[in-house]
Structure 1
Protein backbone atom coordinates (compact mmCIF):
# COMPACT_ATOMS: atom_id res chain seq x y z
CA UNK A 1 0.00 0.00 0.00
CA UNK A 2 2.83 2.38 0.84
CA UNK A 3 4.38 1.80 -2.56
CA UNK A 4 1.05 2.43 -4.28
CA UNK A 5 0.67 5.66 -2.37
CA UNK A 6 4.15 6.70 -3.39
CA UNK A 7 3.30 6.00 -7.04
CA UNK A 8 0.20 8.14 -6.82
CA UNK A 9 1.96 11.11 -5.22
CA UNK A 10 3.66 12.37 -8.44
CA UNK A 11 0.32 12.13 -10.30
CA UNK A 12 -1.49 14.04 -7.56
CA UNK A 13 1.26 16.70 -7.53
CA UNK A 14 0.92 16.96 -11.33
CA UNK A 15 -2.81 17.62 -11.15
CA UNK A 16 -2.32 20.12 -8.32
CA UNK A 17 0.24 21.93 -10.46
CA UNK A 18 -2.14 22.09 -13.46
CA UNK A 19 -4.98 23.28 -11.25
CA UNK A 20 -2.78 26.01 -9.79
CA UNK A 21 -2.22 27.30 -13.33
CA UNK A 22 -5.77 26.93 -14.68
CA UNK A 23 -7.83 28.17 -11.74
CA UNK A 24 -6.55 31.78 -11.81
CA UNK A 25 -7.13 32.00 -15.56
CA UNK A 26 -10.65 30.60 -15.18
CA UNK A 27 -11.39 33.10 -12.45
CA UNK A 28 -9.99 35.88 -14.63
CA UNK A 29 -12.15 34.74 -17.54
CA UNK A 30 -15.28 34.76 -15.43
CA UNK A 31 -14.41 38.18 -14.12
CA UNK A 32 -14.00 39.51 -17.66
CA UNK A 33 -17.35 38.02 -18.69
CA UNK A 34 -19.00 39.60 -15.68
CA UNK A 35 -17.45 42.95 -16.52
CA UNK A 36 -18.69 42.74 -20.11
CA UNK A 37 -22.15 41.75 -18.92
CA UNK A 38 -22.22 44.58 -16.40
CA UNK A 39 -21.10 47.04 -19.09
CA UNK A 40 -23.87 45.85 -21.40
CA UNK A 41 -26.45 46.16 -18.63
CA UNK A 42 -25.27 49.67 -17.81
CA UNK A 43 -25.39 50.67 -21.49
CA UNK A 44 -28.92 49.29 -21.82
CA UNK A 45 -29.98 51.10 -18.65
CA UNK A 46 -28.55 54.36 -19.97
CA UNK A 47 -30.39 53.81 -23.27
CA UNK A 48 -33.67 53.32 -21.39
CA UNK A 49 -33.08 56.49 -19.38
CA UNK A 50 -32.38 58.42 -22.60
CA UNK A 51 -35.50 57.01 -24.27
CA UNK A 52 -37.67 57.93 -21.28
CA UNK A 53 -36.22 61.45 -21.26
CA UNK A 54 -36.83 61.90 -25.01
CA UNK A 55 -40.41 60.65 -24.70
CA UNK A 56 -41.11 62.97 -21.78
CA UNK A 57 -39.69 65.90 -23.74
CA UNK A 58 -41.80 64.95 -26.76
CA UNK A 59 -44.96 64.72 -24.64
CA UNK A 60 -44.23 68.13 -23.10
CA UNK A 61 -43.82 69.67 -26.57
CA UNK A 62 -47.06 68.04 -27.73
CA UNK A 63 -49.02 69.27 -24.71
CA UNK A 64 -47.70 72.77 -25.41
CA UNK A 65 -48.88 72.44 -29.04
CA UNK A 66 -45.31 72.38 -30.36
CA UNK A 67 -46.08 69.46 -32.62
CA UNK A 68 -43.08 69.67 -34.95
CA UNK A 69 -40.68 69.67 -31.99
CA UNK A 70 -42.58 66.74 -30.46
CA UNK A 71 -42.34 64.89 -33.76
CA UNK A 72 -38.55 65.33 -33.77
CA UNK A 73 -38.28 63.90 -30.25
CA UNK A 74 -40.48 60.90 -31.03
CA UNK A 75 -38.47 60.19 -34.18
CA UNK A 76 -35.30 60.32 -32.07
CA UNK A 77 -36.80 57.66 -29.80
CA UNK A 78 -37.48 55.48 -32.84
CA UNK A 79 -33.87 55.89 -33.93
CA UNK A 80 -32.50 55.11 -30.43
CA UNK A 81 -34.70 52.31 -29.11
CA UNK A 82 -34.00 48.68 -29.85
CA UNK A 83 -37.59 47.88 -28.90
CA UNK A 84 -40.19 50.61 -29.42
CA UNK A 85 -42.05 51.49 -26.19
CA UNK A 86 -45.73 50.62 -26.59
CA UNK A 87 -46.92 54.01 -25.35
CA UNK A 88 -44.87 55.72 -28.05
CA UNK A 89 -47.23 54.26 -30.66
CA UNK A 90 -50.06 56.22 -29.03
CA UNK A 91 -48.17 59.49 -28.59
CA UNK A 92 -46.71 59.38 -32.09
CA UNK A 93 -50.17 58.67 -33.50
CA UNK A 94 -51.73 61.48 -31.48
CA UNK A 95 -49.04 63.97 -32.49
CA UNK A 96 -49.38 62.92 -36.15
CA UNK A 97 -53.09 63.75 -35.93
CA UNK A 98 -52.29 67.26 -34.73
CA UNK A 99 -49.80 67.64 -37.59
CA UNK A 100 -52.51 66.72 -40.08
CA UNK A 101 -50.73 63.49 -41.02
CA UNK A 102 -53.92 61.48 -40.75
CA UNK A 103 -52.85 58.31 -42.55
CA UNK A 104 -49.75 58.08 -40.34
CA UNK A 105 -51.87 58.78 -37.28
CA UNK A 106 -54.26 55.94 -38.20
CA UNK A 107 -51.38 53.48 -38.60
CA UNK A 108 -49.79 54.27 -35.22
CA UNK A 109 -53.06 54.45 -33.27
CA UNK A 110 -54.12 51.10 -34.69
CA UNK A 111 -50.76 49.69 -33.65
CA UNK A 112 -51.33 50.87 -30.06
CA UNK A 113 -54.73 49.13 -29.90
CA UNK A 114 -53.21 46.03 -31.48
CA UNK A 115 -50.53 45.91 -28.79
CA UNK A 116 -52.55 46.99 -25.74
CA UNK A 117 -56.09 45.97 -26.63
CA UNK A 118 -58.89 47.51 -24.58
CA UNK A 119 -56.82 47.51 -21.37
CA UNK A 120 -54.34 50.20 -22.46
CA UNK A 121 -54.13 53.36 -20.36
CA UNK A 122 -54.90 55.52 -23.41
CA UNK A 123 -57.40 53.20 -25.07
CA UNK A 124 -60.45 55.47 -24.97
CA UNK A 125 -58.55 58.54 -26.11
CA UNK A 126 -56.93 56.42 -28.80
CA UNK A 127 -60.33 55.27 -30.10
CA UNK A 128 -61.61 58.86 -30.20
CA UNK A 129 -58.52 60.09 -32.03
CA UNK A 130 -58.69 57.17 -34.45
CA UNK A 131 -62.28 58.06 -35.31
CA UNK A 132 -61.31 61.71 -35.91
CA UNK A 133 -58.28 60.70 -37.98
CA UNK A 134 -60.36 58.42 -40.20
CA UNK A 135 -62.94 61.14 -40.82
CA UNK A 136 -60.28 63.78 -41.50
CA UNK A 137 -58.42 61.43 -43.84
CA UNK A 138 -61.56 60.82 -45.92
CA UNK A 139 -62.21 64.56 -46.15
CA UNK A 140 -58.63 65.23 -47.30
CA UNK A 141 -58.77 62.46 -49.93
CA UNK A 142 -62.08 63.76 -51.24
CA UNK A 143 -60.70 67.29 -51.41
CA UNK A 144 -57.63 66.04 -53.29
CA UNK A 145 -59.89 64.21 -55.74
CA UNK A 146 -61.96 67.34 -56.36
CA UNK A 147 -58.85 69.47 -56.84
CA UNK A 148 -57.41 66.99 -59.33
CA UNK A 149 -60.71 66.95 -61.21
CA UNK A 150 -60.83 70.75 -61.29
CA UNK A 151 -57.29 70.91 -62.69
CA UNK A 152 -58.06 68.36 -65.39
CA UNK A 153 -61.34 70.09 -66.20
CA UNK A 154 -59.57 73.40 -66.90
CA UNK A 155 -58.01 74.32 -70.22
CA UNK A 156 -54.54 73.06 -69.36
CA UNK A 157 -52.74 71.21 -72.14
CA UNK A 158 -50.70 68.19 -71.05
CA UNK A 159 -47.46 67.69 -72.98
CA UNK A 160 -47.49 64.17 -74.39
CA UNK A 161 -43.83 64.09 -75.39
CA UNK A 162 -42.15 63.86 -78.81
CA UNK A 163 -44.24 60.93 -80.05
CA UNK A 164 -47.45 62.91 -79.81
CA UNK A 165 -49.27 59.78 -78.70
CA UNK A 166 -50.46 58.47 -75.35
CA UNK A 167 -51.67 55.05 -74.20
CA UNK A 168 -55.43 55.27 -73.88
CA UNK A 169 -56.41 55.17 -70.17
CA UNK A 170 -59.85 53.76 -71.05
CA UNK A 171 -58.63 50.52 -72.65
CA UNK A 172 -55.11 50.59 -71.13
CA UNK A 173 -53.58 50.41 -74.61
CA UNK A 174 -55.37 47.17 -75.59
CA UNK A 175 -57.66 48.70 -78.22
CA UNK A 176 -60.53 46.76 -76.66
CA UNK A 177 -62.52 46.99 -73.45
CA UNK A 178 -63.10 43.71 -71.63
CA UNK A 179 -66.36 43.37 -69.71
CA UNK A 180 -67.31 40.45 -67.51
CA UNK A 181 -70.54 38.78 -68.62
CA UNK A 182 -72.67 35.98 -67.25
CA UNK A 183 -71.40 33.65 -69.99
CA UNK A 184 -67.80 34.82 -70.15
CA UNK A 185 -65.83 37.90 -71.10
CA UNK A 186 -67.23 40.34 -73.64
CA UNK A 187 -64.77 42.23 -75.82
CA UNK A 188 -65.73 45.64 -77.22
CA UNK A 189 -63.64 47.90 -79.42
CA UNK A 190 -62.49 50.97 -77.53
CA UNK A 191 -64.60 53.94 -78.69
CA UNK A 192 -61.77 56.41 -78.09
CA UNK A 193 -58.41 54.91 -79.09
CA UNK A 194 -57.06 53.76 -82.44
CA UNK A 195 -56.71 50.05 -83.22
CA UNK A 196 -53.39 49.98 -81.36
CA UNK A 197 -54.80 51.47 -78.16
CA UNK A 198 -53.31 54.96 -78.55
CA UNK A 199 -54.72 58.49 -78.44
CA UNK A 200 -53.28 61.55 -80.08
CA UNK A 201 -52.17 64.26 -77.69
CA UNK A 202 -55.20 66.41 -78.56
CA UNK A 203 -57.54 63.46 -78.03
CA UNK A 204 -55.91 62.70 -74.68
CA UNK A 205 -56.34 66.29 -73.45
CA UNK A 206 -59.97 66.31 -74.57
CA UNK A 207 -60.55 62.99 -72.78
CA UNK A 208 -59.03 64.33 -69.56
CA UNK A 209 -61.40 67.29 -69.69
CA UNK A 210 -64.38 65.04 -70.44
CA UNK A 211 -64.79 66.56 -73.90
CA UNK A 212 -63.71 63.69 -76.15
CA UNK A 213 -66.68 62.15 -77.89
CA UNK A 214 -66.70 58.41 -78.67
CA UNK A 215 -66.14 57.46 -82.30
CA UNK A 216 -69.19 55.21 -82.34
Structure 2
Protein backbone atom coordinates (compact mmCIF):
# COMPACT_ATOMS: atom_id res chain seq x y z
CA UNK A 1 0.00 0.00 0.00
CA UNK A 2 1.36 3.41 -0.99
CA UNK A 3 1.94 5.68 2.03
CA UNK A 4 1.19 9.41 1.84
CA UNK A 5 4.11 11.62 0.88
CA UNK A 6 5.73 13.60 3.66
CA UNK A 7 4.42 17.18 3.74
CA UNK A 8 7.59 18.81 2.29
CA UNK A 9 7.81 16.20 -0.48
CA UNK A 10 4.10 16.58 -1.22
CA UNK A 11 4.44 20.35 -1.73
CA UNK A 12 7.33 19.78 -4.14
CA UNK A 13 5.36 17.25 -6.20
CA UNK A 14 2.27 19.50 -6.06
CA UNK A 15 4.21 22.44 -7.51
CA UNK A 16 5.61 20.29 -10.31
CA UNK A 17 2.19 18.83 -11.09
CA UNK A 18 0.54 22.26 -11.23
CA UNK A 19 3.26 23.34 -13.65
CA UNK A 20 2.20 20.60 -16.08
CA UNK A 21 -1.22 22.27 -16.22
CA UNK A 22 0.22 25.78 -16.51
CA UNK A 23 2.36 24.97 -19.54
CA UNK A 24 -0.74 23.65 -21.32
CA UNK A 25 -2.68 26.95 -21.09
CA UNK A 26 -3.30 28.64 -24.44
CA UNK A 27 -4.16 32.36 -24.72
CA UNK A 28 -7.57 31.65 -26.20
CA UNK A 29 -8.48 29.62 -23.09
CA UNK A 30 -8.26 32.52 -20.62
CA UNK A 31 -12.03 32.96 -20.58
CA UNK A 32 -12.78 29.22 -20.36
CA UNK A 33 -14.82 28.03 -17.33
CA UNK A 34 -13.17 26.01 -14.55
CA UNK A 35 -14.51 23.67 -11.85
CA UNK A 36 -13.71 26.39 -9.29
CA UNK A 37 -16.85 28.44 -8.66
CA UNK A 38 -17.06 31.59 -10.74
CA UNK A 39 -13.37 31.57 -11.78
CA UNK A 40 -12.51 31.46 -15.44
CA UNK A 41 -8.95 30.46 -16.38
CA UNK A 42 -7.65 34.03 -16.14
CA UNK A 43 -9.07 34.52 -12.63
CA UNK A 44 -7.75 31.12 -11.57
CA UNK A 45 -4.23 32.03 -12.76
CA UNK A 46 -4.37 35.22 -10.70
CA UNK A 47 -5.64 33.26 -7.70
CA UNK A 48 -2.77 30.79 -8.07
CA UNK A 49 -0.38 33.73 -8.20
CA UNK A 50 -1.66 35.03 -4.88
CA UNK A 51 -1.57 31.50 -3.45
CA UNK A 52 2.08 31.13 -4.46
CA UNK A 53 2.99 34.39 -2.73
CA UNK A 54 0.91 33.59 0.35
CA UNK A 55 2.55 30.18 0.53
CA UNK A 56 6.06 31.64 0.26
CA UNK A 57 5.38 34.20 2.98
CA UNK A 58 3.67 31.72 5.30
CA UNK A 59 6.56 29.26 5.05
CA UNK A 60 8.95 32.00 6.17
CA UNK A 61 6.66 33.66 8.72
CA UNK A 62 6.23 36.90 6.78
CA UNK A 63 2.98 38.82 6.15
CA UNK A 64 1.72 39.70 2.69
CA UNK A 65 2.32 43.34 1.80
CA UNK A 66 -1.03 43.47 0.02
CA UNK A 67 -3.66 40.91 -0.89
CA UNK A 68 -6.40 40.13 -3.38
CA UNK A 69 -8.63 42.80 -1.84
CA UNK A 70 -6.50 45.33 -3.75
CA UNK A 71 -8.26 44.07 -6.92
CA UNK A 72 -4.92 44.04 -8.73
CA UNK A 73 -3.11 40.92 -9.93
CA UNK A 74 -0.46 39.28 -7.80
CA UNK A 75 2.57 41.63 -7.82
CA UNK A 76 4.73 39.46 -10.06
CA UNK A 77 1.86 39.31 -12.59
CA UNK A 78 0.94 42.99 -12.33
CA UNK A 79 1.97 44.69 -15.58
CA UNK A 80 2.27 41.46 -17.55
CA UNK A 81 -0.29 40.66 -20.25
CA UNK A 82 -2.66 37.97 -18.98
CA UNK A 83 -1.45 35.76 -21.84
CA UNK A 84 1.93 35.56 -20.05
CA UNK A 85 0.65 34.76 -16.56
CA UNK A 86 0.76 30.97 -16.91
CA UNK A 87 4.40 31.18 -17.94
CA UNK A 88 5.32 33.33 -14.94
CA UNK A 89 3.75 31.06 -12.32
CA UNK A 90 5.96 27.93 -12.25
CA UNK A 91 9.00 29.68 -10.79
CA UNK A 92 6.86 31.14 -7.98
CA UNK A 93 5.36 27.74 -7.17
CA UNK A 94 8.87 26.29 -7.13
CA UNK A 95 10.00 29.04 -4.76
CA UNK A 96 7.13 28.17 -2.43
CA UNK A 97 8.11 24.49 -2.53
CA UNK A 98 11.69 25.47 -1.67
CA UNK A 99 10.43 27.43 1.35
CA UNK A 100 8.32 24.53 2.64
CA UNK A 101 11.24 22.11 2.18
CA UNK A 102 12.66 23.44 5.45
CA UNK A 103 11.27 21.26 8.28
CA UNK A 104 11.19 24.36 10.49
CA UNK A 105 8.53 25.87 8.20
CA UNK A 106 6.05 23.30 9.54
CA UNK A 107 6.64 24.08 13.21
CA UNK A 108 5.32 26.70 15.59
CA UNK A 109 3.25 29.69 14.52
CA UNK A 110 3.39 31.58 11.25
CA UNK A 111 1.41 34.33 9.51
CA UNK A 112 -1.36 33.52 7.05
CA UNK A 113 -1.73 36.74 5.10
CA UNK A 114 -1.58 38.97 8.16
CA UNK A 115 -3.22 36.64 10.73
CA UNK A 116 -1.21 34.45 13.11
CA UNK A 117 -1.90 30.76 12.53
CA UNK A 118 -0.17 27.45 13.35
CA UNK A 119 2.25 26.45 10.59
CA UNK A 120 0.95 22.90 10.90
CA UNK A 121 -2.44 24.16 9.67
CA UNK A 122 -1.17 26.54 6.99
CA UNK A 123 1.22 24.08 5.34
CA UNK A 124 -1.44 21.45 4.55
CA UNK A 125 -3.84 24.20 3.47
CA UNK A 126 -1.31 25.51 0.93
CA UNK A 127 -0.56 21.97 -0.27
CA UNK A 128 -4.24 21.41 -0.95
CA UNK A 129 -4.48 24.80 -2.66
CA UNK A 130 -1.77 23.92 -5.18
CA UNK A 131 -3.08 20.45 -6.00
CA UNK A 132 -6.76 21.38 -6.18
CA UNK A 133 -6.23 24.46 -8.31
CA UNK A 134 -3.78 22.62 -10.51
CA UNK A 135 -6.55 20.08 -11.12
CA UNK A 136 -9.08 22.89 -11.74
CA UNK A 137 -6.77 24.38 -14.35
CA UNK A 138 -5.96 21.07 -16.01
CA UNK A 139 -9.65 20.21 -16.33
CA UNK A 140 -10.41 23.66 -17.75
CA UNK A 141 -7.76 23.47 -20.49
CA UNK A 142 -7.96 19.75 -21.18
CA UNK A 143 -4.49 18.89 -19.84
CA UNK A 144 -3.58 15.55 -18.24
CA UNK A 145 -3.27 15.65 -14.46
CA UNK A 146 -2.17 12.37 -12.95
CA UNK A 147 -1.97 12.64 -9.16
CA UNK A 148 0.39 10.01 -7.68
CA UNK A 149 -1.23 7.86 -5.00
CA UNK A 150 1.09 9.18 -2.29
CA UNK A 151 0.25 12.78 -3.15
CA UNK A 152 -3.47 12.00 -3.28
CA UNK A 153 -3.30 10.53 0.22
CA UNK A 154 -1.38 13.56 1.49
CA UNK A 155 -4.00 15.91 0.01
CA UNK A 156 -6.87 13.91 1.50
CA UNK A 157 -5.15 14.00 4.90
CA UNK A 158 -4.76 17.77 4.51
CA UNK A 159 -8.37 18.44 3.50
CA UNK A 160 -10.25 16.14 5.89
CA UNK A 161 -9.71 18.29 9.01
CA UNK A 162 -10.13 21.53 7.03
CA UNK A 163 -13.21 20.71 4.94
CA UNK A 164 -15.82 22.16 7.30
CA UNK A 165 -13.76 25.31 7.90
CA UNK A 166 -13.21 25.57 4.15
CA UNK A 167 -16.93 25.46 3.44
CA UNK A 168 -17.72 27.94 6.20
CA UNK A 169 -15.04 30.28 4.86
CA UNK A 170 -16.16 29.98 1.25
CA UNK A 171 -12.97 28.26 0.09
CA UNK A 172 -14.80 25.01 -0.75
CA UNK A 173 -18.24 24.38 -2.18
CA UNK A 174 -20.77 21.90 -0.81
CA UNK A 175 -19.34 18.40 -0.55
CA UNK A 176 -19.82 16.14 -3.57
CA UNK A 177 -20.61 12.49 -2.85
CA UNK A 178 -17.75 10.23 -3.93
CA UNK A 179 -17.66 6.44 -3.36
CA UNK A 180 -15.69 5.46 -0.27
CA UNK A 181 -13.63 3.05 -2.38
CA UNK A 182 -12.58 5.81 -4.81
CA UNK A 183 -8.98 6.96 -5.03
CA UNK A 184 -7.83 9.25 -2.21
CA UNK A 185 -7.55 12.26 -4.49
CA UNK A 186 -11.08 11.81 -5.84
CA UNK A 187 -12.34 11.73 -2.24
CA UNK A 188 -10.35 14.89 -1.54
CA UNK A 189 -11.97 16.56 -4.55
CA UNK A 190 -15.41 15.64 -3.27
CA UNK A 191 -14.68 17.03 0.19
CA UNK A 192 -13.50 20.26 -1.43
CA UNK A 193 -16.77 20.58 -3.36
CA UNK A 194 -15.55 19.33 -6.72
CA UNK A 195 -16.99 16.65 -8.99
CA UNK A 196 -14.09 14.37 -10.01
CA UNK A 197 -15.88 13.79 -13.33
CA UNK A 198 -16.04 17.51 -14.24
CA UNK A 199 -15.11 18.29 -17.84
CA UNK A 200 -15.10 21.59 -19.71
Question: Normalized against structure 2, the TM-score is what?
Answer: 0.29
* Bigger Rg, structure 1 or 2: 1
Question: Normalized against structure 1, the TM-score is what?
Answer: 0.28
Instruction: Report the structure, 1 or 2, having the larger helix content.
Output: 1
Higher relative contact order (CA 8 A, sep 6+): 2
